[in-house]
């Protein structure tokens, strides 16, 4: 009986402790909750809810390495009772400990469960992300700053008066935030020295800007007279709470008058029930970017933009879309003077925690996102990146190892341009096919598949050439020597960033067909004199195939060299399908061939005409009802080039 009573008492005591811990957890008082959870766990209690909340209490307070133990217990003991999100957090925590192979294995599982989660797709599409980050790395020199304290210092911004303004919890304030047991944040400024890197002693901003609650992350208009900033929901000395009783974040605006910040106004699109934070002005001060979990958010927080209207009003906030926002956290936007958008994210593939990314605008309001690499990014949280592009210096914050406090501010100098597009490189040596000797001073021309010249160089004294090309694109490499047929090589790049592709070219020296030196007769097919491959088509298709492009370019080159040459394009099909269907298909093939030569070669339309024969002129036995191989049928799906009057 005593044994049963003791068990019952232990159970009741545990339930009371867990109930109290859960209340703290729901109120975001993670450290208070964690202390109770740890005590209960040490006494042998085990449940998926306990392990989940214990792990999250470390994860959400910036201690992901300490969360690993509890995520592992959750996943190994209760794998059938967890949501996929915990796999993602586990993977991120493993990255913080630089256990990347294990993190990748967990992400594979996360992807197999979620299917269409953008964070999972990003990982699958960029499995070589560590290689890319390594290529991107080393483009900044970073420096520690004396302004850091033993507490939390982050969110630097330029006030356009020669200072950086930043948030710090160094204030001698007895009130501690329940989230992480740190003092509340205030705003400070520090003069930037002449080297544009180091700073002087910091001081609090003057005016009624700092309250007894959090102030952080600022952005200033170009004249330095208006500041947008983040504050807890504290307006007119009243603390506002959400429906769940939580104090969230809002954006405010202040004006610089008589060397003090005053006229503090809450922005009209704030709400008590979601957070809006981390403002960033566009270079013309006409748009305001920010992070929020408002309605329409894809993840934990998304990036939004709102128009600042003439007269001081605001438009409707717009989500920046799926190319930037993920199911994770996108936060701390910054827009440079040239309009480059930087932000921090744990949803895009990175080194762990929050990484800094740059977003390059593409068509139709989409962006391509690139990790800025080490040393800006680390396995920990790296965020609030700002840069002065004129002198290529700036600041960011991180909770990486070796800092003075919880979060520290670092300065940097950019030494190289970032990789902001997928580029590859083409190189090779041009040699004579017969003698093997290198060919110097040949014209080497890079064309797209429409025949447009992208770049043109001469082979150097070693017979070599070099081109920069885009990823995942097909090109024609043409080598041309006066009086000789040009040699064309088809090349397709893949999606491997910064790859060097070696494409040697063995040049075949053939005399260029000329109607003046080597007269051709009416009715001659120019395929043999030019040593062309026949222009073939796929079954039931009239599109110009990639392997036909180089030969069509040779036809164009000959017609450009011989302005009096006129040709007739004759297009054919195989015998399959009906007579009239094949007739129509050959018309389409003829028109596609003629159109390509006219458009891409600049050939006058009167010099080229076409005829469509359908299946009437087969080159072999493969008539209706005759069994033939696919290769035999292929011989009949062709276009010919006949000299005409």
> What DSSP letter does each residue of 495-519 carry, written as one string?
S-TTEEEE--EEE---BPP-TTTS-
Higher pLDDT, 591 or 171: 591
CATH code for the structural domain at 423-507: 2.60.40.10
Q: Which of 100-104, 199-203, 258-262, 515-519 has the lowest mean pLDDT?
A: 515-519
| Unique residue bearing structure tokens 């953008």 | 118
Provide the terminal-to-terminal Cα distance of the chain, rounded to the nearest Å: 115
Q: Give yes or no for residue 10 having a pLDDT over 60.
A: no
pLDDT in tens, 162-194: 999 999 998 766 566 555 567 889 999 999 999
Dihedral angle of Cα 36, 39, 41, 47, to the nearest 10 degrees: -20
| Unique residue bearing structure tokens 């090349």 | 491
Closest CA to 225 of 267, 268, 259, 265: 259
The structural architecture, per CATH, of the domain 527-643 is 2-Layer Sandwich (3.30)
Please report, for residues 185, 280, 379, the alpha-carbon distance to residue 217 in angstroms, rounded to integers and kept in the order given.
10, 9, 23
Closest CA to 589 of 636, 532, 621: 636
Phi, psi of 97 (to 5 degrees): -95, 10
At 338, list the tokens: 């040239």
How far is 343 from 323, CA to CA, in rounded Å?
Answer: 13
| 12 SS3 class | helix
At 185, list the tokens: 């944040």
Q: Within the chain, which residue ranges are assigned CATH 3.30.1330.60?
A: 527-643
Average pLDDT estimate for 111-127: 86
How far is 437 from 453, CA to CA, in rounded Å?
Answer: 27
| 581 SS3 class | helix
H/E segment holding residue 633: helix 630-634
How far is 255 from 228, CA to CA, in rounded Å?
Answer: 9
Average pLDDT estimate for 219-227: 96
Provide the pLDDT for residue 32.
86
- 627: Cβ contacts below 8 Å, ≥ 6 apart: none
Average pLDDT estimate for 48-74: 91
pLDDT over 70 percentage in the chain: 93
Provide the pLDDT for residue 140.
98
At 400, list the tokens: 């990486």
Phi, psi of 630 (to 5 degrees): -65, -35
Determine contact, residues 177/184, Cβ cutoff 8 Å: yes
CATH topology of domain 2-115: 1.25.40
- The greatest distance separating any two alpha carbons of the chain, rounded to the nearest whole angstrom, comes to 117
Omega of the bond leading into 335 within 30 degrees of 0 (cis): no
How far is 462 from 481, CA to CA, in rounded Å?
Answer: 16
Closest CA to 75 of 53, 95, 90: 90
Q: Within the chain, which residue ranges are assigned CATH 2.120.10.30?
A: 140-414
When pLDDT is cut at 50, 70 and 90, the band that residue 530 belongs to is: low
DSSP string, 422-446: -EEEEEEEEEETTT--B--S-EEEE
Q: How many C-beta atoms surround the C-beta of residue 112 within 10 A?
A: 11
Provide the pLDDT for residue 7.
45
pLDDT over 90 percentage in the chain: 57
- 526: Cβ contacts below 8 Å, ≥ 6 apart: 513, 520, 532, 555, 558, 567, 641, 642, 643
At 434, list the tokens: 């017969």
At 556, list the tokens: 């164009």
Omega of the bond leading into 548 within 30 degrees of 0 (cis): no
Task: Write the DSSP symbol of residue 320.
Answer: -
How far is 290 from 296, CA to CA, in rounded Å?
Answer: 14
Provide the pLDDT for residue 4.
44
pLDDT in tens, 88-99: 999 999 999 999
Can you give the length of the chain in residues?
645
- Cα Rg of the chain (Å, integer): 34
pLDDT in tens, 281-306: 999 999 999 999 999 899 999 999 99
| 282 SS3 class | coil
Q: Within the chain, which residue ranges are assigned CATH 2.60.40.10?
A: 423-507
Q: Give yes or no for residue 544 having a pLDDT over 80.
A: no
Q: How many Cα atoms occupy the beta-carbon half-sphere of 482 within 13 Å?
A: 3
Q: Give yes or no for residue 8 having a pLDDT over 60.
A: no
Query: Residue 576, Cα to own-chain centre: how many angstroms?
Result: 47
Average pLDDT estimate for 593-603: 87
How far is 357 from 380, CA to CA, in rounded Å?
Answer: 14
pLDDT in tens, 306-336: 999 998 899 999 999 999 999 999 999 999 9
Q: Within the chain, which residue ranges are assigned CATH 1.25.40.10?
A: 2-115
CATH topology of domain 140-414: Neuraminidase (2.120.10)
Work out whether strand 423-432 and strand 464-470 pair parallel, antiparallel, or are unpaired: antiparallel
Closest CA to 246 of 229, 263, 232, 266: 232
Closest CA to 518 of 544, 483, 552, 570: 483
Most confident of 78-92, 537-551, 629-643: 78-92
Average pLDDT over the chain, rounded to whole? Answer: 89
| Unique residue bearing structure tokens 């003057």 | 206
Higher pLDDT, 563 or 336: 336
| Unique residue bearing structure tokens 């085990």 | 46
pLDDT in tens, 242-257: 988 888 999 999 999 9
Q: How many Cα atoms occupy the beta-carbon half-sphere of 376 within 13 Å?
A: 33
Please report, for residues 24, 231, 239, the alpha-carbon distance to residue 246 in angstroms, rounded to integers and kept in the order given.
11, 14, 10
Closest CA to 172 of 139, 149, 141: 149
Closest CA to 100 of 137, 71, 130: 130
């Amino acid at each position: 009986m005593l044994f049963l009573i003791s068990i019952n008492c232990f159970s009741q005591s545990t339930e009371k402790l867990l109930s109290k811990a859960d209340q703290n957890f729901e109120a975001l008082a993670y450290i208070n909750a964690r202390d109770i959870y740890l005590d209960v766990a040490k006494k042998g209690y085990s449940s998926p809810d306990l392990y989940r909340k214990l792990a999250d209490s470390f994860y959400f307070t910036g201690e992901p390495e300490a969360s690993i133990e509890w995520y592992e217990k959750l996943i190994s003991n209760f794998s059938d009772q967890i949501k996929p999100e915990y796999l993602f957090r586990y993977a991120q925590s493993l990255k913080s400990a630089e256990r990347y192979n294990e993190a990748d294995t967990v992400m594979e599982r996360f992807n197999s469960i979620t299917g269409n989660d953008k964070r999972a797709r990003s990982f699958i599409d960029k499995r070589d992300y560590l290689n890319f980050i390594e290529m991107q790395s080393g483009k900044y020199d970073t420096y520690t700053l004396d302004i850091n304290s033993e507490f939390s210092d982050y969110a630097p911004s330029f006030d356009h008066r020669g200072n950086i303004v930043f948030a710090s919890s160094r204030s001698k304030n007895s009130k501690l935030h329940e989230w992480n047991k740190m003092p509340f944040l205030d705003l400070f400024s520090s003069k930037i020295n002449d080297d544009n890197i180091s700073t002087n002693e910091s001081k609090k901003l003057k005016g009624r800007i700092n309250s007894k609650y959090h102030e952080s992350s600022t952005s200033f208009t170009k004249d330095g007279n208006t500041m947008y900033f983040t504050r807890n929901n504290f307006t007119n000395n009243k603390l506002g709470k959400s429906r769940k009783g939580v104090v969230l974040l809002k954006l405010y605006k202040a004006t610089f008058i008589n060397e003090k910040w005053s006229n503090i106004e809450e922005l009209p699109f704030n709400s008590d029930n979601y957070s809006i934070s981390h403002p960033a002005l566009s270079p013309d001060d006409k748009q305001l970017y920010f992070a929020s979990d408002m309605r329409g958010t894809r993840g934990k927080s998304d990036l939004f933009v709102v128009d600042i209207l003439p007269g001081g009003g605001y438009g409707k906030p717009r989500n920046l879309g799926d190319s930037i926002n993920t199911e994770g956290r996108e936060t701390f936007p910054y827009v440079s003077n040239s309009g480059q958008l930087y932000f921090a994210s744990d949803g895009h593939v990175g080194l762990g925690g929050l990484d800094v990314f740059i977003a390059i605008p593409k068509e139709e309001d989409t962006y391509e996102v690139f990790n800025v690499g080490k040393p800006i990014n680390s396995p920990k949280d790296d965020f609030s990146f700002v840069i002065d592009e004129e002198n290529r210096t700036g600041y960011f914050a991180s909770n990486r190892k070796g800092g003075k406090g919880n979060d520290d501010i670092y300065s940097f100098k950019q030494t190289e341009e970032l990789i902001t597009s997928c580029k590859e490189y083409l190189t090779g040596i041009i040699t004579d096919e017969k003698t093997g000797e290198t060919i110097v001073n040949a014209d080497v021309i890079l064309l797209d598949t429409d025949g447009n010249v992208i770049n043109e160089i001469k082979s150097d004294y070693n017979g070599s050439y070099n081109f920069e090309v885009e990823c995942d694109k097909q090109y024609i490499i043409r080598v041309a020597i006066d009086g000789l047929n040009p040699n064309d090589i088809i090349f397709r790049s893949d999606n491997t960033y910064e790859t060097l592709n070696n494409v040697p070219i063995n040049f075949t020296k053939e005399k260029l067909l000329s109607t003046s030196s080597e007269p051709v007769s009416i009715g001659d097919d120019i395929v043999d004199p030019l040593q062309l491959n026949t222009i073939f088509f796929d079954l039931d298709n009239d599109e110009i195939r990639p392997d036909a492009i180089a030969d069509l370019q040779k036809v164009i080159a000959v017609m450009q060299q011989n302005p009096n040459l006129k040709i007739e394009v004759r297009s054919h099909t195989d015998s399959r399908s009906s007579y009239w269907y094949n007739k129509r298909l050959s018309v389409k093939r003829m028109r596609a061939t003629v159109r390509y030569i006219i458009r891409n070669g600049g050939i006058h339309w009167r010099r080229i005409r076409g005829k469509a024969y359908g299946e009437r002129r087969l080159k072999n036995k493969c008539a209706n009802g005759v069994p033939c191989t696919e290769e035999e049928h292929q011989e009949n799906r062709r276009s010919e080039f006949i000299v005409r009057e």
